[in-house]
Amino acid sequence: MDSARPKERPTAFDRMLAPVHRWIWSDTDRRVQKLLRFSETETDGGRDILRAAEVTSDPLLRRLYLEHAIDEFRHGVLFRHRAAALLKVSPSGSNPGFQGDWLAPGGHGLDDLQVDGESDSDMLAFLHLSEKAAASRFTIYREVMRHDPPTRAVFEEILHDETFHMNYTLTQLARVEPERHRRHLWRARLSRIWKAYLRLATGVAGILGSMLLTIQYFVLLPPFAWLAKRAARREPSGWTMVSPGQSASLDRQY
Amino acid sequence: MKILGISAHYHDSAAALVVDGVPVCAVQEERLSRHKGDAAFPLLAIESCLQHAGIAPDELDAVVFYERPMLKFDRILTCALRAFPQSWRAFPKAMKNSLGEKVWMRGIISSYLGVPGRKVLFTEHHQSHAAAAFLTAPTRRAAIMTADAVGEWATLSVGDGERLLNGATIIRRFREIRFPHSLGMLYSTFTAYLGFKVNEDEYKVMGLAAYGQPKLVEQVRKLIRRTPDGAFALDLNYFEFHTTAERSYSSRFIELFGPPRNPYEPIDLDTAEGQRFADCAASVQRVLEDTIVELAQALHQETGLTDLCFGGGVALNGVANARLLAESGFERIFVPSAPGDAGCAIGAALYCDRVHFGNSDRDLPDHPFWGPSVDGSELARLAREDGHYAVEFQDGALIDQVADDLAAGHIVGWMEGALEFGPRALGHRSILAAPHTAEMRDRLNREIKYREPFRPFAPVVPIETAARYFDIPPGGTRLARFMSGVFPVRREWRSRLQAITHVDGTARLQALEPTMAPRLHALLEAYGRRTGIPVLLNTSFNLAGEPIVNRAVEGYSAFLRCKIDVLVAGGTRVIKRPSATARTQVDKLKIREEVA
């Protein structure tokens, strides 16, 4: 059985991109940003898997998911600590990153995993493919990280866990769906492709939207900006009186 | 009349259902979705409320959203215009963000719930805060003050409320301070500067403040000046939150206070740098308190009322609340259990019922337990499936057993009844422990909560004996009802209440009335009989980065991942089988941290 289990191995696509990865990871600041993003992803993933542990009715899966979730949280910590260590030696100094959230998106992403609605088999298939993809990518990262042994060691360690996760999810999928586990894997693959398309489409739409809005900002807004600034200058500071009828009607959105 | 209140899309979404003038259910989305501070449209919370009451969406008489989306959009657009051209990066984000979903609330609510658009109503953000503070408070007439980061335009408002003898309700707002001049944004800017998460970690600034001296008050006062009419205005040269989405403070702010803290580095209070950050926290805390107290003093003089209802995120600042009580002139201060945006769901629904529909005032139950109930049998089943020791007790025997556990130094995860509405665990989803030694505090920080050592833990004490251990001023027990005030621990008890006494000798206590949480009250008494001190450490039942647990299964998963010794849900008590206690999440993280 063990020999049939998948081992971590980079996909052809990832191998092809190795020079790009090498370039990305060669810069300390980029490395910090990537590690911090990984930290968030692993922690978020841990929460999803934790949720899966809470909603499954299968006691064995519950225990495995819990262990898995704890691993993901640990990976988040490992990435964050490594990023913090690199920040100390970063030539550009520390960059605390985004701080305000008055523009908080106020929703979940398009590809958010809806754990509560997933069956055990769908969840296992999804996890298996995610872990496999992560293992493939992390194998490449480990290889391009020869110039940074501590970061390489982090990937090495996480890769070890990812291989276990990849294997147990496949074994369990075969246990809970002995007849149809391949079908679940294919469905999960298609779902990943669809989600990748959604991410790409959203990304492209986002860029186009930003471009159009930026053009509008500079072309259409200046006269309104002038008026708004003039109005702001005339605005008294301090209290603004609230007239009794100002918010009397609850039908209005303004 | 059935009215659903909704708050969403900024942080901490929630839904609340009011039936015939009384809340029957209120729950934050994060408690169900398990995403901390979930800001998404609260579908799960709505579903939970409707299910609880057994009603279908089409039976609702009204659905009230807690703010006016177009008015908010007006503010966002106007601010972008005023900050032209510096706002060019923020503008596309802000527009996409607002136009993508947030301004279309009537249609969104209508389509999600299948209710006609005419049934969807809107209150103003600070109107919702005011209603949540006043209409849930047991007072007939009170001054009302609300303060937060920002609603539509208002950031702070003052007014009053009255329940008339004929059953009618009046809530008036006299005046407001408008964005970008905001006490909440001032505090949040320091939260970001000190390397904490905005809108989430403000309480860490308050905890850190106790370790510092307000040496930088003069510098902070440069940021906020009082206006001749008694309000305040921020000096916007020190801020960027109104122009960019990247950073809330400006380079001038950094020139004034020094480099910001790297959020990935722990605060070491033994270093000059760590002390500087603590002094910053102490200074902004002091200025916030002074400003709030002065505003409340003026409101007291203006209204001549004895009661103040205080709402909005700033009302979560227990130190400021205690100073309000001591110095503002008001005799009683009412802060609801959920003064932040989540509480606006209940405020909007109650406002709609009392003011919009003109329904008669009703006395409301004065407790925070409006969420789903916990099922002890679910815990027993899970624990047995995993081979842990689960015993279902009769009530009295359970209380005695848990009191023994606590007296023996065990840490107990305690779940009973309905979930709290609001950020505080007030005895239904709590981690309880003996409050006597500093070792217990350190153990909780290290092995369970996994958090910064400068953050204090809160005590819970029966209201009858609270004054023996804590120096509570007149009116203080009301603030202590929902853990909204910070008061001194009596000097003679500090050495025996080390785990809950903050470095400045204070504690954010909960004074518990027997009727509010009878089982916890009985547990406190039983613990007192064993140890002589009926005080317990009471911290929220969650692990770092997670929302407070709701169902038994969530408490159970937290229990398995940390070193809580005993888990109680309803009448079920669970302890781990020995092999399961060997490796927990905290152990793993700790080991790897040492390696890292």
| pLDDT the model gives residue B453 | 79
Q: Are residues A90 and A125 in the same domain?
A: yes
The confidence band for A221, taking pLDDT boundaries of 50, 70 and 90, is very high
Q: Are residues A44 and A138 in the same domain?
A: yes
**A75 inside domain:** yes
Residue that wins the pLDDT comparison between B544 and B133: B133
Q: Which residues of B touch A83 (CB under 8 A)?
A: 264
Asked if A104 and B231 come within 8 Å (Cβ–Cβ), the reply is: no
Q: Amino acid identity, residue B7?
A: S
pLDDT in tens, B68-97: 999 999 999 999 999 999 999 999 999 998
Q: Residue B582 pLDDT more than 60?
A: no
Task: Give the distance from residue A16's alpha carbon to the nearest chain B alpha carbon, in angstroms.
Answer: 31
| pLDDT the model gives residue A95 | 52
**A197 inside domain:** yes
Structural domains of chain B ordered from first start: 2-66+68-122+345-363 (3.30.420.40), 183-333 (3.30.420), 371-595 (3.90.870.20)
| pLDDT the model gives residue B546 | 93
Under 8 Å between Cβ of B3 and B352: yes
ipTM greater than 0.90:
no
Asked if A74 and B70 come within 8 Å (Cβ–Cβ), the reply is: no
**A139 inside domain:** yes
**A108 inside domain:** no
| pLDDT the model gives residue A172 | 95
Q: Are residues A63 and A187 in the same domain?
A: no
Q: What is the DSSP letter of B103?
A: G
Q: Are residues A36 and A79 in the same domain?
A: yes
Asked if A251 and B592 come within 8 Å (Cβ–Cβ), the reply is: no
Nearest residue, CB atoms, A228 vs list B40, B78, B263: B78
Residue after which a domain boundary falls, among A160, A178, A196: A178
Q: Are residues A187 and A135 in the same domain?
A: no
pLDDT in tens, B268-291: 999 999 999 999 999 999 999 999
- Of the candidates B412, B318, B426, B315, the one whose C-alpha atom is nearest the C-alpha of residue B369 is B426
Nearest residue, CB atoms, B557 vs list A53, A59, A87: A53
In whole angstroms, give the CA distance from residue A63 to residue A54.
Answer: 10
Residue A212 domain boundaries = 183-229
**Backbone angle region of B195, left / alpha / beta, with phi > 0 → left and psi within -120 to 50 → alpha:** left
| Run of H or E residues at A163 | helix A149-176
Q: Residue A5 pLDDT more than 70?
A: no
Q: Are residues A24 and A50 in the same domain?
A: yes
In whole angstroms, give the CA distance from residue B519 to residue B398.
Answer: 10
**A105 inside domain:** no
Omega prior to B85 cis, within 30 of 0: yes
Give the per-residue SS3 of B177-197: EECCCCHHHHHHHHHHHCCCC
At B388 the three-state DSSP class reads coil
CATH code for the domain of A34: 1.20.1260.10
* Residues A82-106 as b or e (16 or more Cβ within 10 Å = b): bbbbbbeebeeebebeebbbbbbbb
Q: Are residues A73 and A159 in the same domain?
A: yes
Asked if B177 and A239 come within 8 Å (Cβ–Cβ), the reply is: yes
| pLDDT the model gives residue B10 | 84
Please compute the mean of the pLDDT values over residues B346-353 and round it to a whole number. 98
Q: Residue A170 pLDDT more than 70?
A: yes
Total domains in chain A come to 2
CB pairs below 8 Å between A and B: how many? 211
pLDDT in tens, B208-229: 999 999 999 999 999 999 999 9
At A139 the three-state DSSP class reads helix
Mutate to test the interface with A, among B82, B201, B560 (most CBs of A within 10 A): B82
Please compute the mean of the pLDDT values over residues A32-56 and round it to a whole number. 92
Asked if A87 and B262 come within 8 Å (Cβ–Cβ), the reply is: yes
The confidence band for B134, taking pLDDT boundaries of 50, 70 and 90, is very high
**A234 inside domain:** no
**A8 inside domain:** yes
In whole angstroms, give the CA distance from residue B319 to residue B292.
Answer: 11
- Of the candidates B105, B122, B167, B72, the one whose C-alpha atom is nearest the C-alpha of residue B351 is B122
- B330 phi/psi in degrees, rounded to 5: -75, 145
Under 8 Å between Cβ of B54 and B44: no
**A235 inside domain:** no
- Lowest average pLDDT, out of A107-116, A217-226, B290-299, B457-466, goes to A107-116
Q: Amino acid identity, residue B199?
A: N
Please compute the mean of the pLDDT values over residues B361-368 and round it to a whole number. 94
Q: Are residues A119 and A161 in the same domain?
A: yes
Asked if A237 and B181 come within 8 Å (Cβ–Cβ), the reply is: yes
Q: Are residues A20 and A51 in the same domain?
A: yes
Residue B387 tokens read as: 């081979």
The confidence band for B367, taking pLDDT boundaries of 50, 70 and 90, is very high
Residue B323 tokens read as: 């100073």
Q: Are residues A172 and A196 in the same domain?
A: no
Q: Which residues of A touch B101 (CB under 8 A)?
A: 106-107
- Cβ neighbours of residue A226 closer than 8 Å, sequence gap 6 or more: none
Asked if A103 and B93 come within 8 Å (Cβ–Cβ), the reply is: yes
| pLDDT the model gives residue A113 | 66
| pLDDT the model gives residue A114 | 77
Asked if A238 and B230 come within 8 Å (Cβ–Cβ), the reply is: yes
Q: Which residues of B touch A47 (CB under 8 A)?
A: 34-35, 545-546
As a whole-number percent, the residues of chain A with pLDDT over 70 amount to 88
The confidence band for B594, taking pLDDT boundaries of 50, 70 and 90, is very low
Beta strands B566-569 and B412-415, pairing class: parallel
Q: Are residues A140 and A206 in the same domain?
A: no
As a whole-number percent, the residues of chain B with pLDDT over 90 amount to 88
Under 8 Å between Cβ of B492 and B541: no
pLDDT in tens, B544-577: 889 999 999 999 999 999 999 999 999 999 999 8
| pLDDT the model gives residue B202 | 92
- Lowest average pLDDT, out of A61-70, A108-117, A245-254, goes to A108-117
Nearest residue, CB atoms, A254 vs list B70, B94, B561: B70
| pLDDT the model gives residue B584 | 57
Please compute the mean of the pLDDT values over residues B28-56 and round it to a whole number. 95
Q: Are residues A11 and A136 in the same domain?
A: yes
At A239 the three-state DSSP class reads coil
Q: Residue B593 pLDDT more than 80?
A: no
Asked if A252 and B9 come within 8 Å (Cβ–Cβ), the reply is: no
